[in-house]
A and B are shown apart, each in its own frame.
Chain A
Amino acid sequence: DGGITQSPKYLFRKEGQNVTLSCEQNLNHDAMYWYRQDPGQGLRLIYYSQIVNDFQKGDIAEGYSVSREKKESFPLTVTSAQKNPTAFYLCASSQGTGSYYGYTFGSGTRLTVV
């Protein structure tokens, strides 16, 4: 079955550490997205990529970095510059960028700073 796999499901980070969240899709989708969700809040866009080797900052990119070396993979690194990284992170992909395309989401990674 096609879908998006995010790993790990839970991640603990120490202060000052960089951590990388994995996102892999086998849907052959060109566009991929990373969102952050804080408790009781909506989703905010961190980064997005419309094609391999290209990505753009979203609304809250500071303290995060991404790469898109393969169509299937869009990992997110939460750097030590991100002052408040504890949140739920969702990866998504879309077949295209037209307004009629929805997203397929992964099951998310819950990141906690310890």
Chain B
Amino acid sequence: AQKITQTQPGMFVQEKEAVTLDCTYDTSDPSYGLFWYKQPSSGEMIFLIYQGSYDQQNATEGRYSLNFQKARKSANLVISASQLGDSAMYFCAMRESAGGTSYGKLTFGQGTILTVHP
């Protein structure tokens, strides 16, 4: 079963508008971390934002915020005021506790390609 699901293969947004990238996850571990990474065409993976399973508030990092809905197992990334440089592949990832069967590794979704139009 997929642990991380990103249902949007591609998304388009107009420059300066906000966009939401969807991510749902599946785990029975009460302790886990959710991460979003950006991958430009160069291939490097850039960390954007982190949300812990016990965090009461949604995480924010500059123009990035994470809409964390624990009961729905959803961790959507919101990018406000999109810029042309935001065009990239975006990955949602989950890390469960090291004592579980996942051995503390990061598990990635399939990614969403975001294209920002001028």
Give A residues with C-beta under 8 Å from B: 31, 33, 35, 40-43, 45, 48, 50, 56, 58, 88, 90, 92, 97-105, 107-108, 110
Task: Tell me the bound Cα distance from A42 to B103 in angstroms.
Answer: 19
Question: Known interface pairs A42-B110, A103-B106, A107-B42. Does A97 touch B47 (Cβ–Cβ under 8 Å)?
Answer: no
Give B residues with C-beta under 8 Å from A: 4, 9, 29, 31-33, 35, 37, 42-45, 47, 50, 52-53, 91, 95-98, 103-111, 113
Question: Known interface pairs A107-B42, A110-B43. Does A100 touch B52 (Cβ–Cβ under 8 Å)?
Answer: yes
Question: Known interface pairs A41-B110, A41-B111, A42-B109. Does A100 touch B42 (Cβ–Cβ under 8 Å)?
Answer: no
A110: min CB distance to chain B, Å: 7
Cβ–Cβ contact A90 & B45, under 8 A: yes
Across the interface, A56 reaches (CB within 8 A) one of B9, B29, B103, namely B103
Across the interface, A33 reaches (CB within 8 A) one of B44, B98, B105, namely B105
Task: Tell me the bound Cα distance from A107 to B45 in angstroms.
Answer: 7
Contacts of A103 in B (CB 8 A): 45, 47, 106
